[in-house]
Amino acid sequence: MWALRGLRDGVVTTRWPARPDPYAAAVRGPATVLAQAAGAADQLERLCPTGAISNADDGGVRLDQGKCVQCGRCVAARPDVFGWSEEPGAAALWRGALTVPEFGETPERLDALRNSLKTRSAALRRSVHLRHVDAGSDGTEEWEILALFNPVYDVHRLGIFLTASPRHADILLVTGAGARGMAEPLRQTYDAMPEPKIVIAVGTDAVSGGLASPSYGVSGGIGAIVPVDVWVPGAPPPPFSILHALLLALGRLPAGAGEGARS
Amino acid sequence: MSLASDTLTTLWERLAEEVAAGRRFAGLFGTARPEGLMLSAHLADARGVTAADTILPATATSYPALTPLLGAAFWYEREIADMFGVIPQGHPRPEPLLLPQPPEGALRPRPGESGGPAAIEPDPRALPLHVVGPGLFTIPHGPVRSGVFESIEYLVETPGEDIPHLNMRVFYKHRGLDKRFEGMTAADGLLLAERVEGTATVAHALAYCHAVERICGAEVPWTAALVRVLHAELERLACHLDVAIRLADAAGLAVATARFGWHKERVLRLVGHACGSRFGRGVVVPGGVSRLPLTGPGELLTEIGTLDKAVTADVAALMGTASFLDRLRRTGPLRPERAREHGALGPVGKASGYSDDAREFRPYDAYPSLGLHQPAPRPAGDALDRLRVRWDEVAQSFHLLRQVADELAEAPDGPLRAGCDASDGRATGWAEAPQGEVLYDVRLEDGLITRCHPRSASFHNLVLMHELFAGDILTDFPFIEASLGLSVAGVTR
């Protein structure tokens, strides 16, 4: 009976990234800087409850998407300066790349980062096993990661699977602001994973601690606990963003899909 | 101290009598005040949720525990001991709950005290080892779980198959949010309230805003009240579908898991289209709502209709799958008298014949004017009845959503939020989350939050997990856990 029921509505699965998906662009990402407003950075800073907006060296305004909790205050107050980023391609390979405009890195350092990731992901390309650890999330990131396995996103089609054991895991997805109680279990999970391994910080809380930080209970992001390879902003990041980050980590983003990827 | 403890004992006895007479014990919270530690016991009835306060002298290091008189205070008093360092005398198990086991006497000042610690450093060696009898062993589930779960540790003590005893350690993902609220403006506090228990974002925002609105006496405009109900009921759909996914997954029903996963995704997309956030963030604000749904009432009605039809058909199929029902029937039973004693919240209470749904008994926003139909009683208290209650609530939510969409089509244009400049005062706010009633005890001084205690239904209900394993075996565990439908984030904060 269930087998027939499963056929009832045809294929509901997205074809992204091979084909564009209208919903991928429709979901709101973190805030971004649309246009520079010279000299206004001081008042603009105060708009953000997590201090994501700051004064760039050139006097312009800089927004750290890794701290953006998507409350929308800056977008509401200054639509001329701030707007929503509307592509799932917000994930980045280094922390500084989450700022708009991005913090520079030396070309040598960038090459080193890319090569290190490439060496590790080369071995994993078409069959990847994920392990998830919650280090103090609010519960929404877990829902969005689980959504990847529903028939709409169905990441099994891309050779991506969940595994219960860290011994079988290639990629560690970490959510949450870095709760101190989870630091040791997270470290042990990371240590138990075989080489090569990749760590993805999923969500603004995991990247910077978000609104939970500073607190006696959290370390302000999981970067303080395990080395992070891919940073995914969003509170929480929608499934397409997490999928984008996975493909970015694996070097499997086709040209044209999520071109905004700051790799 | 003796005088204070006499007064306190009298207060506790009065509380226990009130609860025996039919009021519901809704929580016991601590607040550090200049004159000492204030203990606030909350009681709920048809008039609302009221707090009975008492102050311990600043010198007191202990007080007579409430738990021996009122078992439901079991976790609340452990939390108070964690946060403020006072010992509840006579408590059956005064161990840390939200904080990791600190080395003996090491943590001073406590997080709730002024100048609390900069960081807590858990010491894994300080965790108590569990004493087990001959032939018994402990199976730890967690804190890193198999699958995508929130972090919590269940210690299953078993001789092999059945589960005579279960222990829980919940501290792992404690974020210290109560302390984070302090010093925030009411507007910033809302953002944090939305993140206490993210899967019940709207309910937490509502309970928080109700408290703030009570302080400043704001009346929410009718249209805004409708939008609030719209999002609260969509959130209920998503949460109940999530429980169905987990139960179907535990039973190995791949197609059912996929079908309900698809329906849940459609609900989240509907929410996302209506407000820009898949979790309804940024909709509820003190005094009203931030904007009308971006989806028009006509389109909403169509979407709700399509979804209702699809969900109802799959629910009928699921509840006709004998192999699935067999796993739930008589699994994880909660006796009706225990549900009443504890004041079990939400679907967990309802499935044991105890209902104190805030939407019905202490209605707020647009609920007093909307028709809530009375669902059939579900008194068995097992995982199956908990699921049936959820389906009753899902049907109810669709019924409410239709009414809201109809009303919104005719709602007058006008302001969507009333002025709400709360600066000083204290109030309790509540809202019925998918998990059960959420409670916020908020105190504002000079426009800033000096204390905000969120109490999620997850915190109140999770402790019942201790007693749900009569006659159940290890393979029942995932069903029992999923049937409670709780979020750990709301427990540990």
Our CA-based measurement puts residue B487 at a distance from the nearest CA of chain A, in whole angstroms, of 7
In a shared domain, residues B340 and B238 = yes
pLDDT at B100: 80
Q: For residue A246, what pLDDT is reported?
A: 95
User: Which among A105, A95, A92, A98 has a CA at the least distance from the CA of A31?
Assistant: A98
Q: Is B126 a member of any domain?
A: no
| pLDDT per position as a tens digit, B366-417 | 999 998 877 788 989 999 999 999 999 999 999 999 999 999 999 888 899 9
Nearest CB among B149, B174, B277 relative to A181 is that of: B174
Please count the residue pairs, one from chain A and one from chain B, whose beta carbons lie less than 8 angstroms apart. Answer: 186
B-contacting residues of A 162-201, CB under 8 Å? Answer: 162, 164-166, 176-177, 179-186, 188-189
Backbone angles phi, psi at A190, to 5 degrees: -60, -45
A-chain residues near B177 (CB < 8 A): 212, 215, 217
Distance from C-alpha of A155 to C-alpha of A146, rounded to nearest angstrom: 10
In terms of residues, how long is chain A?
263
Q: Give the number of residues written for chain B.
A: 493
Work out the average pLDDT over A164-179: 95
Sign of CA dihedral B144, B146, B148, B150: negative
- DSSP character at residue B121: -
pLDDT per residue as tens digits for the range B216-270:
999 999 999 999 999 999 999 999 999 999 999 999 999 999 999 999 999 999 9
Rounded-to-integer distance, Cα B38 and Cα A194, Å:
51
* ipTM given for this complex: 0.95
Chain B interface disruption, residue of A12, A134, A241, most B CBs within 10 A:
A134
Between B131 and B312, the more confident residue is B312
- Whether residue B283 lies inside any domain: the answer is yes
Say yes or no: B126 contacts chain A, CB-CB below 8 A.
no
Q: How confident is the model at residue A261 (pLDDT cuts 50, 70, 90)?
A: very low
Instruction: For residue B295, give the amino acid letter.
Output: T
What band does B106 get if pLDDT is binned at 50, 70 and 90? low
Range of the domain at B8: 1-113
Strand pairing partners for A133?
A174
Residue B83: φ, ψ to 5°: -80, -30
Q: Which amino acid is at A80?
A: D
Indicate if B95 and B234 belong to the same structural domain: no
pLDDT digits (tens, 9 = 90+) for B139-151: 888 889 988 999 9
- Least Cα distance to B474 among B158, B244, B169, B249 occurs for B158
Among B86, B113, B140, give the residue marking a domain's end: B113
With both helix axes pointing from N to C terminus, report the angle between B383-410 and B477-484 in degrees, rounded to the nearest 10: 30
Report the residue of chain B nearest A179, measured CA to CA.
B173
The tally of domains found in chain B comes to 2
B160 in any annotated domain: no
Closest CA to B249 of B240, B239, B260: B260
Alpha helices in B252-351 (DSSP H): 254-275, 297-318, 322-328, 336-342, 346-350
The yes-or-no verdict on residue B18 having pLDDT over 60 is yes
- The answer to whether A29 faces chain B, any CB pair under 8 Å, is no
CA atoms within 13 A on the CB side of B328: 30
Residue to mutate among A187, A216, A218, A242, with most B CBs inside 10 A, is A216
Q: Give percent of chain B with pLDDT exceeding 70.
A: 95
Are B225 and B366 spatial neighbours (Cβ–Cβ below 8 Å)? yes
- Which pLDDT band, with edges at 50, 70 and 90, does A28 fall under? confident
d(CA A199, CA A182) in angstroms, rounded, equals 16
| A221 and chain B in contact, CB less than 8 A | no
Inspect the interface and report whether the beta carbons of A181 and B172 lie closer than 8 Å.
Answer: yes
Query: Average pLDDT, stretch B198-222?
Result: 96
User: By CA distance, what is B182's nearest residue in A?
Assistant: A215
Residues B300, B411 share a domain: yes
Rg (CA), chain A: 19
C-beta atoms of A151 and B261 within 8 A: yes
A31-40, A133-142, B272-281, B319-328: least confidently modelled range: A31-40
- Cα separation, B34 vs A152, in Å, equals 55
Chain A nearest C-alpha distance from B476 (Å): 19
Judgement on whether residues B369 and B235 belong to the same structural domain of the protein: yes
Read off the amino acid at residue A251. G
Task: Let me know if residue B374 belongs to a domain.
Answer: yes
> Nearest by CB to A5, which of B111, B144, B259?
B259
Residue A52: pLDDT band (50, 70, 90) is very high
pLDDT of residue B195 exceeding 80, the answer is: yes
Residue environment code for A42-52, b if the CB has 16+ CB neighbours within 10 A, otherwise e = eebbebbbbeb
Q: Cβ distance B173 to A137 under 8 Å?
A: yes
Co-location of B195 and B77 in the same domain = no
> What residues are paired with A248 via a beta bridge?
none
Residue range A242-256: mean pLDDT, rounded:
88
Mutate to test the interface with B, among A141, A200, A215 (most CBs of B within 10 A): A215
Asked, for residue B167, whether it belongs to a domain, the answer is no
The per-residue pLDDT for A39 is: 63
CB of A237 less than 8 A from some CB of B: no
Exposure letters B10-27 (e unless 16+ CB within 10 A, then b): ebbeebbebbeeebbbbb
User: Which of 421-440 (B) contact A at CB < 8 A?
Assistant: none
Buried b (16+ CB within 10 A) or exposed e, A138-171: bbbbbbbbbbbbbbbbbbeebebebbeebeebbb
* Span A178-186, average pLDDT: 94
- Give the residue-averaged pLDDT of B43-58: 92
In a domain, B413, yes or no: yes
Give the β-pairing of A53-55 and A198-202: unpaired
- Output the pLDDT for position B131: 53
Q: Tell me the C-alpha distance between B378 and B380, whole Å.
A: 6
Q: Are residues B184 and B54 in the same domain?
A: no
Who among A28, A132, A138 is closest to B195 (CB)?
A138
Which pLDDT belongs to residue B103? 54
B489 touches chain A (CB under 8 A): yes
Residue B4 has pLDDT above 80, yes or no: no
Does the beta carbon of B399 lie under 8 angstroms from any beta carbon of chain A? no
How much is the average pLDDT of A56-68? 87
**Structural domain ending residue among the three candidates B57, B79, B113:** B113
More confident residue, A76 or B106: A76
> Could you identify the residue written with the tokens 């997590």?
A50
Which B residues, 203 through 242, put their C-beta within 8 Å of a C-beta on chain A? Answer: 242
Q: Would you state the pLDDT for residue A131?
A: 96
Torsion of CA B43, B76, B174, B346, to 10 degrees: -50
Q: Among residues 44-63 of chain A, which lie with CB inside 8 Å of chain B?
A: 49
Residues B88 and B191 in one domain: no
Q: How far is B47 from chain A (nearest CA, A)?
A: 32
Per-residue confidence (pLDDT) for residue A26, from 0 to 100? 81
Q: Name which of B172, B258, B317 is nearest A150 (Cβ-Cβ).
A: B258
pLDDT at B27 over 50: yes
Q: Which residues of B touch A2 (CB under 8 A)?
A: 253-256, 317, 321
Which residues in chain B touch residue A84, judged by CB atoms under 8 angstroms apart?
276
> Is residue B407 within 8 Å of B226, Cβ to Cβ?
yes
**Which pLDDT band holds residue B3 (cuts at 50, 70, 90)?**
very low
Among candidate residues B187, B202, B206, the one with its CA nearest the CA of residue B422: B187
- Give the pLDDT score at B162: 82
Same domain, B391 and B475: yes
Contact B139, B474 (CB under 8 A): yes
Read off the pLDDT of residues A148-167 as tens digits, 9 standing for 90 and up: 999 999 999 999 999 989 99
* Binding-face residues of B in 47-106 toward A, CB within 8 A: 100
Query: What confidence score (pLDDT) does residue B117 get?
Result: 81
Cα of A88 to nearest chain B Cα, Å:
14
Tell me the percentage of chain A whose pLDDT exceeds 90.
60
Residue B73, domain CATH? 3.30.460
Q: Which of A33-47, A77-91, B174-188, B209-223 has the lowest mean pLDDT?
A: A33-47
On whether both B91 and B209 belong to a single domain, the answer is no
B342 located within any domain: yes
For the entire predicted model, the pTM comes to 0.96
Domains of chain A: 31-84 (3.30.70.20), 107-250 (3.40.50.12280)
Residue A263 has pLDDT above 70, yes or no: no
Q: Is residue B136 part of a domain?
A: no
CATH number at residue B414: 1.10.645.10
Beta carbons within 8 Å of B173's beta carbon, 6+ residues apart: A134, A135, A136, A137, A176, A179, A181, A182, B143, B150, B151, B152, B488, B489, B492
A237 vs B173: CA distance, rounded Å: 20
- Which residue in B116, B143, B148 is closest to A182 by CB distance? B143
Mark which of B93, B113, B133 sits at the end of a domain. B113
